[in-house]
Amino acid sequence: MQLNSMEELLSYCETQNVSIADMMINMESEKTEKTREDIFNKMKDRLIKMQEAVESGKSDGTPAPSGISGGDALKMGEYINSGDTLSGSLITRAMRYAMATSECNARMGVIVATPTAGSAGVLPGILFSLRDNDDYSLDELTYGLFTASALGYIIANRSFVSGAAGGCQAEVGSATAMAAGVIVEVKGGTPVQAVHATAMALKSLIGLVCDPVGGLVEVPCIKRNVIGTSIAFSSADMALAGIESRIPCDEVIETMYRVGREMPRTLRETSLGGLATTPTGEEIKRKLYNR
Amino acid sequence: MDFQSCFDIIGPVMVGPSSSHTAGVVSIGKFTYELLGGCQPERVRITLYDSFAQTYQGHGTDKALLGGLLGMGTEDVQIKDAIALAKEENIDYQFLLEKDHCPYYDHPNTVIIVAEVGYRRVKVGGVSLGGGLSQIFLINDAETAIRLSTEDDLRSICNRLPLYMLTNHQQEV
């Protein structure tokens, strides 16, 4: 069994009458000859590592070693506690947890790359917000990680998941696309709806460049993770409403690849363009490397 | 198909901040450590290309490589102190920067390590593909394609290498 496209994934789910998550567990078990239980437990361990990163990050107000990030997850928490926020608690908590994880990453704390460290905030953001709001169990969220891995697996093998190869669309774009599909499946949507959500989320981030200020995974990466959670929820809501992506998901992924190949080197994690070369970006870089 | 498992996508569990510039390169460093027989090098020259050369300090690529060369894994919280630890261990290390892409492998995240301990000298070319996954494309002067995930047992991979790859190359460190 091999998984080459979203089309193949959907046809497998349909003929076998299984969820995307179950399909991934089946495939992993077939490839590795490990039991479903072993595979499930290993994934659950990763979920717990993600939870630990959220917990450590959300109440840690200390700055990253660079001094240019840190403390915003704490601010977001105080804002939520004020009870007067524009977005509802599902979105605001997802934002807070994504920020907590990405700030933990910037501090060289332990995180789980989903699919990369630079984009590690989006998935824990949406998962632990779903848990807080709808009381999902850790097991249900673990299934969500299998859904995420199947979607990410196809994206990663047909395109790329590194900012240096394909820009931020490949990192936060892929993470957000995975997260959108996860939300749909956790909320009881069909595999077809999940893949539409993935397509709609990825389409929204096509072309996003990788332009880290001072070469650090902090500015603008942390906030892009935060915003990614909102795009994931919007895409999932559209899919659950029965709205479809006009462009099939496999073609969206192919587009992301094509756009990444055409993206100049200056906008692929070299810090030679984009926000990295704004006057403020340059000033931060000078201060960092003259210390 | 570079990515083979659900744990390549959800994972690795790692210290930040970058899976391609931190976690993936810990594996390349650790592979070199295992190739030296599970020994820290006494002398090491590390050439960083392209994106690595531009952003290595911010991403902690230097700490990640040295951490791997000291024998650390991707989850090791000591990676952030690897430079100080390498100095404590009196490792003679040097980073060389090449703004262009690597002549052996066309990818922005490439590194070539030449490491020595006693009479042993190894040259290792590695590329970090993203998501913590990397590939060794050069061992001494032999081209190869060994895929490394952060969960692989690097020692047993090194033990299975064909003999011709392990002969010392003549280039000066």
What is the domain partition of chain A in residue ranges? 6-289
B3–A contact, CB cutoff 8 A:
yes
Residue B11 in domain: no
Residue B10 in domain: no
Q: Does the complex come out with an ipTM higher than 0.90?
A: yes
A256–B contact, CB cutoff 8 A:
no
Residues A208, A198: contact at Cβ < 8 Å?
A: no
Residue with tokens 């998550």: A21
Provide the domain limits for residue B109. Answer: 16-159
Residue A108 is given by DSSP the state T
* Rounded Cα gap, residues A235 and A113, in angstroms: 22
Residue B102 in domain: yes
* Rounded Cα gap, residues B141 and B72, in angstroms: 26
* Rounded Cα gap, residues A282 and B65, in angstroms: 27
Residues 97-126, chain A, touching B (beta carbon < 8 A): 104-118, 120, 123
- A-B Cβ pairs (cutoff 8 Å, strict): 175
Encode pLDDT of A54-89 as tens digits. 999 999 999 998 899 999 999 999 999 999 999 999
* Rounded Cα gap, residues A186 and A223, in angstroms: 25
Encode pLDDT of B24-74 as tens digits. 999 999 999 999 999 999 999 999 998 888 878 778 899 999 999 999 999
φ and ψ of B150, to 5 deg:
-70, -10
| CB-count burial class (<10 Å; 0-12, 13-18, 19+) for A8 | middle
Smallest CA–CA distance from A102 into chain B, residue = B17
For the record, the structure tokens of B140 come out as 């001494």
For the record, the structure tokens of A21 come out as 């998550």
| Number of domains chain B contains | 1
Q: Which helix (H) or strand (E) holds B40?
A: none
* Rounded Cα gap, residues A116 and B132, in angstroms: 7
Residue B95 in domain: yes
* Rounded Cα gap, residues A129 and A132, in angstroms: 5
Encode pLDDT of A108-155 as tens digits. 999 999 999 999 999 999 999 999 999 999 999 999 999 999 999 999
At residue B172 the predicted structure's pLDDT band, cuts being 50, 70 and 90, is very low
The least confident of A17-21, A262-266, B56-60, B122-126 is: B56-60
Cβ neighbours, 10 Å, residue B171:
10
Cβ neighbours, 10 Å, residue A14:
12
* Rounded Cα gap, residues A155 and A153, in angstroms: 6
DSSP secondary structure string, A220-265? Answer: THHHHHHHHHHHHHHHHHHHHTT---SS-HHHHHHHHHHHHHHS-G
A253–B contact, CB cutoff 8 A:
no
Encode pLDDT of A261-288 as tens digits. 999 999 998 889 999 999 999 999 999 8
Residue B99 in domain: yes
Residue B22 is given by DSSP the state I
Residue B148 in domain: yes
* Rounded Cα gap, residues A154 and A168, in angstroms: 17
Phi-psi region of A167 (alpha: psi -120 to 50; beta: other; left: phi over 0): left
Q: Angle CA(A215)–CA(A221)–CA(A227) in degrees, nearest 5?
A: 170
For the record, the structure tokens of B71 come out as 């024998």
Residue B141 in domain: yes
Min Cα distance A89 → chain B (Å) is 26
Residues 92-111, chain B, touching A (beta carbon < 8 A): 107-109
Q: Which CATH code fits A6-289? A: 1.10.4100
Min Cα distance B134 → chain A (Å) is 12
Residue B3 in domain: no
Sheet arrangement for strand B142-148: B92-98, B43-49, B110-117, B120-130, B133-139, B142-148
